[in-house]
Amino acid sequence: MDTKTLCLAVLSRGPASGYEIKKTLEQPPYCLFQDTGFGSIYPALQRLNEDGAVATTDCTPTRRPAKRIHALTDEGRSRLLEALSQAPSPDRLRSDFLFTLLHGDLLPPDLVLEMIDARIAELEAKLSQVEACEPRADSPCAVFLHGLGRTHYGGCLDYLRRNRSKLARDLNAASAPSSKRAAE
């Protein structure tokens, strides 16, 4: 999904400014599977306006960078529908954490364990963030997605918590086969 479609999707919930779109995208559920900066949003909104997909009106002309509210047009709505109807392109995950973990054998055991602890803390934060934003009950899809998010984060968290100590043992056994110093 390109930034234009992203903007259209957010605008389908109601008119908004570029700044507000960015804020919406920063919060769950969007922040869980998308990320975009101002540098992508503003140009996208301009092109969308040129193409007639959104109607832009200056809301606060007195203010210097006037707040520009963008509203979906019929053209924009049908474009969004079309984009959404396409077969979704495969997920793209870039995870430095997972990548590092895969090569954890090259690193000092303590460092690996620290990274896992940090990840556990992050997942806890994300999970409570997800749980905090209750989906609207009138949207079956939002409810479904909410549950999926909870399952995903909860499952990973659970795994990390339950297998951390085993990894710690195995790692220390591998790094000290004979008998180095035991504790630090």
Write out the residues near DNA by the rule CB under 7 A. 2-3, 17-20, 23, 35-40, 42-46, 62-68
Distance (Å, whole) CA 74 – CA 79: 8
Q: How far apart are CA 127 and CA 48, in angstroms?
A: 34
Q: Which of residues 61 and 177 has its CB atom nearest to DNA in the complex?
A: 61
The total of other beta-carbon atoms located within 10 Å of residue 123's CB is 20
Residue 41 to residue 31: CA distance in whole angstroms: 15
45 binds, among DNA, a second copy, none (CB under 5 to 8 A by kind): DNA
Q: In the complex, what is the shortest distance from the CB of residue 128 to a second copy, in angstroms, rounded to a whole number?
A: 17
Nearest approach, Cβ of residue 87 and DNA (Å): 14
What residues line the site for a second copy (CB under 8 A)?
1, 6, 9, 12, 29-30, 32-35, 80-81, 84-85, 87-107, 111-112, 115, 118, 122, 138-145, 147-148, 151-152, 155-156, 158-160, 163, 166-167, 170-171, 174
Indicate which of a second copy, DNA, none lies near residue 43 (CB less than 5 to 8 Å, by partner kind). DNA
Q: Among a second copy, DNA, none, what binds residue 54 when CB lies within 5 to 8 Å by partner kind?
A: none
Whole-Å CA distances, 102 to 4, 56, 139, 159, 175 = 35, 48, 39, 16, 16
- Least spacing, CB of residue 161 vs a second copy, in Å: 12
110 binds, among a second copy, DNA, none (CB under 5 to 8 A by kind): none
Give the shortest CB-89-to-a second copy separation in angstroms. 5
CA 165/CA 142 separation, integer angstroms: 36
Is the CB of 1 or the CB of 145 nearer to DNA? 1
Closest by CA to 172, choosing from 100, 98, 105, 103, is: 105
Say how far apart CA 115 and CA 58 lie, in whole Å: 47
- Single-letter code of the amino acid located at 118: A
Dist CA 9 CA 39 (whole Å): 18
- Residue 66 contact among a second copy, DNA, none, beta carbon within 5 to 8 Å by kind: DNA
